[in-house]
Amino acid sequence: MTSSVSEARYSKPDVPRSDRQIRIGTMLVTMVEPHKGHEVAYNRWYECDHFYAGCMIGEHQFAGSRYVATADCKELRYPDDSPVTPDRSIGSYVAIYWVLDGKHDEWSKWAVDQVNWLHANDRMFEERDHIHTLLYEYEDEFAGKSDYVPPELALDHHFAGIAMVIGETADGVELAQATEWFKQRPVPGEVVVVASPLPMPADRPGDVPATSGTGRFLHLYFLEEDPREVWADRFALLGAEFQASGLGSIVFASPFLATVPGTDRYTDELW
């Protein structure tokens, strides 16, 4: 019979992070652009091979999911001069992976060794470019209601899509101050994960750029609705409002749709 302690530990919605046995510690976020004419082959390679061989079979990596920005998603992006991507039409696919709390170093060693092995064994896909590939550390989470999907389950929940928001704090502003500003607003997602950048390993593969992340933060808003349908009401003014607060600025904001594994859906809608 389940004890009352166990019931309390695993019940929603009031399980504090410290009581969770499985917790997000760090994450890999990789935004990639397939070369035109290779989008179907890229999608099939990634979901049938690299999603697993490059990531999911790794030590201490416990969840992953992929998202896609169609042409109409990209039209909603801002700002136009984002330092994250050279053009709003660039950056079609995002893959996100959770790594177990306290296990980053072990996972990182495995990940670098594995991807270098994949390169050496011709298991990589050359017709694509890394646009924003970075490691992040979990910082916080918040939601608009008390009963929400725990972040650890968000990549497995089959949300319709996400809003990916990258910001920079103003000089002298701590991340916690900026996060509190967002928490005081109406929360536009089911659950929001807040993260800060980590340095990429020095021995990463040569095709992964040394993306600068100084002073930046990442928000992942998980949405039950199609993000395109709620963008105008929930996200379109977020950048201007945060700028007006004096706490920082948004340097990239974009909706993404959940991919449909085993299909080529959306590959003909990227540009």
| pLDDT at position 214 | 60
pLDDT digit string, tens, across residues 91-118: 999 999 999 999 999 999 999 999 999 9
pLDDT < 50 regions, the chain: 1-5
- Say what the pLDDT of residue 18 is: 85
Long-range contacts at 123-127 (CB < 8 A, ≥ 24 apart)? 123/49, 123/50, 123/53, 124/50, 125/38, 125/41, 125/42, 125/45, 125/46, 125/50, 127/34, 127/35, 127/37, 127/38, 127/41, 127/42
What's the fold here for domain 19-258? Alpha-Beta Plaits (3.30.70)
Domain map (residue ranges) of the chain: 19-258
Residue 203: its pLDDT value, please?
Answer: 59
pLDDT of residue 215: 79
Checking phi first, is residue 91 left (phi over 0); if not, alpha (psi -120 to 50) or beta? left
In DSSP terms, 135 is beta-bridged to 28, 198
CA-based angle 88:93:97, to the nearest 5? 130
- pLDDT, tens digit, for every residue of 149-194? 999 999 999 999 999 999 999 999 999 999 999 999 999 999 999 9
pTM (2 d.p.): 0.91
